[in-house]
Structure 1
Amino acid sequence: MNRHELRIIAMESLYQHLLLGKDIRKCVFDAMKGENNIDGFLYSLTIGTIENKGIYIDKINSLLRSDWTFDRLSILEQAILLMSFQEILANEAPKAVVINEAITLSKKYCDDSSYKLINGVLDKL
């Protein structure tokens, strides 16, 4: 699988975890159709993201407009932002690449204007 496909699996797994409160490892296992061999990049984008979730939520809240909070975002927007923060801050991926991927995912899976919010938050990081 390429990195874009792994990001989609990570987004789906994070979405399930955030929406249902299901253990992230179980979400990844289910998304991988029972495959136990998890790519290191996918592991970082899922398990790593949840390990740093509180820190990332605080950072996201500080970058949102004063009348918005992380909890007001859709679950998919939350998943994309958390995953993007992990990729930029922990994986040290190029910010432009991460922003481009986040915008691509949000245009495909979120509301029509979600990509603008995601772009704005990640650009401030």
Structure 2
Amino acid sequence: MAVDRTLIHRRHSARRLAMQAIYSWQLADTPLLDLLADFRTDIDYPKADSAYFEELVSTVVKQSRVLDALVLPYLARSVETVDPVERAILRLATYELQSRMDIPYRVVLDEAIGLARKFGGTDGHKFINGVLDKLIQDLRSLEKSAEK
């Protein structure tokens, strides 16, 4: 199976923009349609998979409480006290792990860690890795065990 490098790059860009949009929504509680419209004017938007960006942002905004409930058992604190950048990354990755079975869990994990390295705090990537690794055990246990 040939790997479509263009799609990979466009999805990567979509995730980065989606994380930024989710972060913005968390801080300002911007209505979803306004949020999407604001990010359509971003200089990097044409490089992103726009349909995937809109799917990610729309779903995370609409299902944030459900996504938070999935990740809460793996946190030593409330979701609201997690750094906003890391919370946005966790919500995004949790959605992909739960609902996008067409995307391998390793891709979701690598992308989330990459976003945390670029935008998160000093050890944010370690926190993201630790939480998502535990979540993967529940949401993608069959996929993970098939690797062994």
For the pair 1:97 / 2:107, whether they are aligned, the reply is yes
In 1: Cα distance, 2:30 partner to 2:61 partner: 12
In 2: Cα distance, 1:94 partner to 1:50 partner: 23
Partner of 1:42: 53
Please report how far the alpha carbon of residue 61 of structure 1 lies from its aligned counterpart in structure 2 after TM superposition.
Answer: 1.1
Please report how far the alpha carbon of residue 80 of structure 1 lies from its aligned counterpart in structure 2 after TM superposition.
Answer: 0.5
Partner of 2:36: 28
Please report how far the alpha carbon of residue 81 of structure 1 lies from its aligned counterpart in structure 2 after TM superposition.
Answer: 0.5
**Match 2:83 to one of 74, 98, 101:** 74
Q: AA paired with 1:101?
A: E
Which of structure 1's runs of 4+ aligned residues deviate more than 2 A?
none
Please report how far the alpha carbon of residue 8 of structure 1 lies from its aligned counterpart in structure 2 after TM superposition.
Answer: 1.1
**Matched residue pairs, number?**
121
Partner of 2:64: 53
Taking structure 1 as the reference length, the TM-score comes to: 0.89
Taking structure 2 as the reference length, the TM-score comes to: 0.76
Please report how far the alpha carbon of residue 49 of structure 1 lies from its aligned counterpart in structure 2 after TM superposition.
Answer: 1.2
In 2: Cα distance, 1:115 partner to 1:45 partner: 20
Please report how far the alpha carbon of residue 3 of structure 1 lies from its aligned counterpart in structure 2 after TM superposition.
Answer: 0.9
Please give the per-residue CA displacement for 1:8-53, whole angstroms capped at 9, x wherever unaligned: 1101110111000111221121111088xx8321122100112221
- The unaligned stretches of length 5 or more in structure 2 are 1-8, 136-148
Give the % identical residues: 26
In 2: Cα distance, 1:21 partner to 1:101 partner: 25
Larger Rg: 2
- The unaligned stretches of length 5 or more in structure 1 are none
In 1: Cα distance, 2:28 partner to 2:40 partner: 18
In 2: Cα distance, 1:25 partner to 1:101 partner: 26
